[in-house]
């Protein structure tokens, strides 16, 4: 074969191949995935004839999920045996920012202390014995991952790429933990910890899905006798096939809970939550305010926690997320508790009963933000326990006080909460001694003490109030440092004032005097049978010392007035000496004020001492000179004799 002929053959083969590929590609491009409903068997046969692929034949609704050529859709829609032709629409998760963030758990937080579990009162239901035991809850989502906090009873995958219902995204696992996380004193706990979890994987690893897979998941729940279905996803457009399947599930006795959506706008509730037979749920934060992202509208029936919810996550971890996706499973879990509590109630009766387990928020009655209200479990026993009795406050001082009381006698009594100035201080349980020490108080201050008794269901009394008044701290006044010492005084009515020679030493030479004020004030006592009276007397130092002082300060010759003053001082001094002799050997006590502490009788004694000192001095001098003179005379006598 020549090269020219070979080239022609190759070219023809290439053109033939390209032509066939373009025909096939064009055919694939013209095919669409749809859900087609039929009125009768004739319509069903027509769908099968026109389809290039049958994905799923639904049992509870008259519809098929198929692939057909786009050019045949018009013919099918016009056929009277065909009910509808719907695009296999995509769904989106009802989670804020479309993600769950992995977080570590804080070891010091108990599983029941997370705000969402605490505020809805789930623990009160558990204390009454209701934990959702035996209730089947189907979660149609991204699947459920194996986790130590979860028990997965069964499930199914409706997506094409895997037959496993294991979660490869994390959203479904997070929802599952909110509903039925185990009550094991570790990690987190769900609203109905003993409910049976069923994983229906209808969304993929990106959190995306389509209408056909969701319909298939709901039908699986119907076929397997689920009690509750949770749908934490939505779409904006109404779809008759979805509404029909939801209605079939409701007719089968299944309660269906749906997330309202995260549009953050009024009148923006998404489907399927917008359908009549689905319980639409909005989200609130920890202060019970409607979350800014939550979709609201007339279709909202209840509100539940949906902000910063910590729950289970993939790979055995924990995650936090916000959204109406987290709010809906709280309602699903509460319905599981009520389903166990009221086993004879139909799904319709339970839906009405849930209205009795809410806190009415927002406008009175049902409103577009909170629906009937925020779900809250109320126990049957709502009777408060008795108050504590015989409250005693003892050992009160400036910074502490001890309190004692007697506990109520009810069998369900659990603890006493202690408040100081209306702030919670501590809790004393029934297993502890009914006593408590209040510490770190302030001196000389009144405190309002409040003791509230509580039972195991959380019912609490009004409380017993008492006022505690701490004592005042006694402070010693600082001693004033002066040149004068204090004198003690005694007021024995029988013996009169006593003078004591053991008075604190006082150096008279250190006491300043001047011409204008030469007096020192002392205290003497005139005693009688009942009391003693104080009389001021004046005393001055010896005449010679006074003269020295005056000469040093003024260096002036005494004037007549000065002499008169000295005469008066001398008379007072003699009077003082006389008084001192009458009260000889008596004791002087110290005064409380810091004026003068010189002994009363030191005045005359000082004068006498000074006089004796002068005499002794002159005698010594005289004797000294006499001795020298005699010695000198004897020396001369010996020299010339």
**Per-residue tokens: 585:** 């050997």
95-109 pLDDT tens trace: 666 689 999 998 889
User: Contact, 130 vs 337, CB < 8 A?
Assistant: yes
C-alpha distance across the termini of the chain, in Å: 190
Helices (H), 158-208: 171-180
Quick one: pLDDT at residue 629? 73
Domains assigned to the chain:
3-88 (3.30.70.80), 93-375 (3.40.50.200), 389-469 (2.60.40.10), 476-641 (no CATH)
Quick one: pLDDT at residue 225? 98
Give the range among 75-89, 276-290, 551-565 with minimum mean pLDDT.
551-565
Return the beta strands (E) in 413-557 as ranges: 413-420, 423-429, 435-438, 446-455, 464-469, 520-527, 532-539
- Which of 65, 141, 174, 192 does the annotation list as catalytic? 141
User: Contact, 114 vs 310, CB < 8 A?
Assistant: yes
251-265 pLDDT tens trace: 999 999 999 999 999
Quick one: pLDDT at residue 569? 53
Decide if 583 is catalytic: no
Residues in the chain: 641
Decide if 78 is catalytic: no
Quick one: pLDDT at residue 49? 93
Task: Tell whether the model's pLDDT for residue 30 goes beyond 70.
Answer: yes
Task: Tell whether the model's pLDDT for residue 375 goes beyond 90.
Answer: yes
Alpha carbon distance 322, 326 (integer Å)? 6
316-359 pLDDT tens trace: 999 999 999 999 999 999 999 999 999 999 999 999 999 999 99
Alpha carbon distance 546, 532 (integer Å)? 33
Task: Tell whether the model's pLDDT for residue 202 goes beyond 50.
Answer: yes
Average pLDDT rounded to a whole number, residues 570-592: 48
Decide if 141 is catalytic: yes
- Which of 147, 171, 347, 372 does the annotation list as catalytic? 171
Indicate the Cα dihedral angle 297, 299, 301, 304, nearest 10°: -50
Alpha carbon distance 178, 193 (integer Å)? 9
Alpha carbon distance 353, 413 (integer Å)? 28
Contacts of 341 (CB under 8 A, 6+ apart): 125, 128, 130
Average pLDDT rounded to a whole number, residues 395-403: 94
Alpha carbon distance 399, 500 (integer Å)? 43
Quick one: pLDDT at residue 481? 52
Q: Which residue has the higher pLDDT, 179 or 619?
A: 179
551-579 pLDDT tens trace: 444 444 344 444 444 455 555 555 555 55
- Which of 94, 325, 453, 461 does the annotation list as catalytic? 325
Beta bridge partners of 535: 524
Return the beta strands (E) in 202-254 as ranges: 209-210, 228-231, 233-234
pLDDT confidence of 123, banded at 50, 70, 90? very high
Quick one: pLDDT at residue 636? 73
Task: Tell whether the model's pLDDT for residue 510 goes beyond 90.
Answer: no
pTM over 0.85: no
Quick one: pLDDT at residue 93? 79
401-437 pLDDT tens trace: 999 999 999 988 999 999 999 999 999 999 999 999 9
Quick one: pLDDT at residue 554? 42
Alpha carbon distance 197, 176 (integer Å)? 7
Quick one: pLDDT at residue 552? 46
């Amino acid at each position: 074969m020549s090269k020219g002929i070979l080239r022609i053959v190759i070219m023809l083969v290439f053109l033939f191949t390209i032509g066939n590929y373009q025909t096939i590609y064009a055919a694939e491009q013209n095919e669409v995935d749809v859900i087609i409903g039929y009125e009768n068997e004739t319509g069903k046969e027509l769908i099968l004839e026109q389809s290039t692929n049958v994905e799923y034949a639904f049992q509870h609704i008259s519809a098929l999920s198929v692939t057909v050529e786009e050019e045949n859709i018009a013919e099918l829609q016009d056929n009277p045996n065909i009910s509808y032709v719907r695009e296999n629409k995509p769904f989106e998760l009802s989670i804020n920012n479309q993600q769950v963030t992995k977080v570590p758990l804080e070891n010091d937080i108990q599983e029941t202390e997370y705000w969402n579990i605490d505020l809805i009162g789930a623990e009160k239901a558990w204390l009454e014995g209701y934990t959702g035991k035996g209730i089947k809850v189907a979660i149609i989502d991204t699947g459920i991952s194996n986790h130590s906090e979860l028990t997965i009873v069964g499930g199914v995958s409706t997506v094409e790429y895997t037959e496993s219902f294991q979660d490869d995204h994390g959203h479904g696992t997070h929802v599952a933990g909110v509903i039925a996380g185990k009550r094991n004193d570790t990690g987190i706990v769900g609203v109905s910890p003993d409910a049976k979890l069923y994983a229906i994987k209808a969304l993929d690893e990106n959190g995306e899905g389509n209408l056909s897979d969701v319909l298939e998941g709901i039908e699986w729940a119907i076929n397997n006798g689920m009690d509750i279905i949770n749908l934490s996803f939505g779409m904006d457009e109404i779809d008759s096939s979805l509404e029909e399947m939801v209605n079939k599930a409701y007719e089968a006795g299944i309660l269906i809970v749906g997330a309202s959506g995260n549009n953050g706008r009024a009148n923006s509730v998404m489907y399927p939550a917008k359908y009549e037979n689905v319980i639409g749920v909005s989200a609130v934060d920890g202060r019970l305010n409607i979350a800014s992202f939550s979709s609201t509208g007339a279709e909202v029936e209840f509100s539940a926690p949906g902000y910063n919810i910590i729950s289970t996550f993939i790979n055995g971890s924990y995650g936090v997320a916000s959204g109406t996706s987290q709010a809906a499973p709280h309602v699903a879990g509460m319905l599981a508790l009520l389903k166990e509590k009221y086993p004879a109630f139909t799904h319709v009766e339970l839906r009405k009963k849930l209205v009795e387990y809410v806190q009415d928020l927002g406008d009175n009655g049902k409103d577009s933000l909170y629906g009937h209200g925020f779900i809250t479990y109320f126990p049957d026993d709502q009777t408060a326990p008795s108050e504590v009795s015989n409250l005693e406050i003892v050992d009160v001082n400036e910074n502490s006080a001890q309190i004692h009381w007697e506990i109520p006698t009810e069998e369900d009594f659990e603890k006493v909460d202690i408040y100081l100035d209306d702030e919670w201080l501590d809790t004393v349980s029934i297993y502890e001694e009914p006593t408590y020490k209040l510490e770190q108080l302030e001196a000389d201050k009144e405190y309002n003490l409040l003791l509230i008794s509580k039972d195991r269901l959380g019912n609490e009394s009004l409380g017993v109030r008492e006022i505690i008044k701490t004592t005042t701290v006694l402070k010693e006044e600082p001693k004033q440092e002066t040149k004068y010492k204090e004198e003690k005084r005694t007021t024995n009515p029988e013996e009169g004032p006593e003078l004591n020679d053991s008075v604190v030493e006082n150096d008279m030479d250190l006491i300043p005097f001047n011409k204008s004020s030469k007096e020192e004030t002392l205290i003497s006592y005139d005693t009688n049978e009942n009391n003693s009276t104080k009389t001021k007397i004046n005393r001055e130092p010896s005449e010679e010392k006074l003269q020295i002082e005056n000469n040093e300060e003024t260096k002036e010759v005494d004037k007549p007035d000065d002499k008169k003053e000295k005469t008066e001082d001398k008379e007072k001094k003699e009077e003082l000496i006389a008084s001192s002799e009458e009260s000889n050997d008596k004791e002087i006590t110290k005064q409380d004020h810091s004026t003068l502490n010189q002994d009363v009788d030191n005045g005359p004694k000082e004068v006498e001492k000074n006089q004796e000192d002068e005499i002794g001095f002159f005698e010594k001098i005289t004797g000294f000179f006499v001795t020298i003179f005699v010695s000198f005379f004897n020396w001369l006598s010996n020299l010339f004799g």
